[in-house]
Amino acid sequence: MNWMMTIDASIWRRRLREILVYGLIFIVAGFVGNLWMTRDQAAGLAPVTRAVTLSGETIRFLVEPGAQKKQQDELTLLYFFAEWCPICKLQNSTIQALSKDFNVIGIAMQSGDDSAVKRYLAERDIKFPVVNDLSGRISRAYGVNGVPATFIIDNQGKIHYSTRGYATAAGLRSRLWLSGLESGGSSEFPK
């Protein structure tokens, strides 16, 4: 009976080792893939700071000193999306949920005129402020050539992180938390 337990333990150790190796490969591949996809995206200081939302409000992509602030107020999540993008449709609910705790600004690119974008937002119950980048000026300035794309920017204009493609809520929250630590913000992990 003892040799059976030894065989079972050996099999479990081997399977656990395989899971860990494949998991590590998956994580490294995701990291390298993100680096490749974001190679043309803006880094360093944020290139654009002002725009007009669909509601007519002039906004800054950075939190203004003295403005009413949310948790982790020193950060802005800039979210590029398009009406025609199927992955964006999946990502929208995650970004909407994050907008309850963080400053989020949406940039609709290649999505039609203002009325088409407003209709899209209403159909999906998107409440965060959105700028229609009809001319592509903002998208070009940020080097966005695919959507969805997100940028995490602090109130000094430094881009801490950018990604392209689908990102999970946990992944974005952890990046917001790490960016907050890096910029001297709260060390409390966001909800």
pLDDT tens track, the chain, 191 positions: 555 556 677 777 888 888 887 777 766 665 655 555 555 565 567 786 678 999 999 887 654 444 444 444 578 999 999 999 999 999 999 999 999 999 999 999 989 999 999 999 999 999 999 999 999 889 988 999 889 999 998 888 888 888 888 999 999 998 898 888 776 655 454 55
CATH code for the domain of 135: 3.40.30.10
Residue 21's pLDDT is what? 79
- The answer as to whether 106 is a domain residue is yes
Same domain, 14 and 75: no
Same domain, 5 and 84: no
Total tally of structural domains belonging to the chain: 2
Same domain, 23 and 49: no
Same domain, 65 and 159: yes
Residue 6's pLDDT is what? 61
- On whether the pTM is more than 0.95, the answer is no
**CA angle at residue 124 from 133 to 58, to 5 degrees?**
35
Same domain, 10 and 95: no
Same domain, 28 and 98: no
Same domain, 164 and 121: yes
Query: Residue 30: which domain range?
Result: 1-37
Same domain, 50 and 123: yes
Residue 9's pLDDT is what? 72
- The answer as to whether 51 is a domain residue is yes
Which pair of structure tokens corresponds to residue 190? 């966001």
Same domain, 64 and 126: yes
Residue 128's pLDDT is what? 95
Same domain, 29 and 52: no
Task: Tell me the three state secondary structure of residue 64.
Answer: coil
List, in sequence order, the alpha helices (H) in the chain: 2-37, 86-98, 114-123, 137-141, 169-182
What letter does residue 167 receive in the DSSP assignment?
Answer: -
Same domain, 19 and 55: no
- Torsion angle defined by CA atoms of residues 51, 58, 165 and 38, in that order, rounded to the nearest 10 degrees: 40
Residue type, 58: T
Residue 28's pLDDT is what? 63
Same domain, 9 and 59: no
Residue 34's pLDDT is what? 56
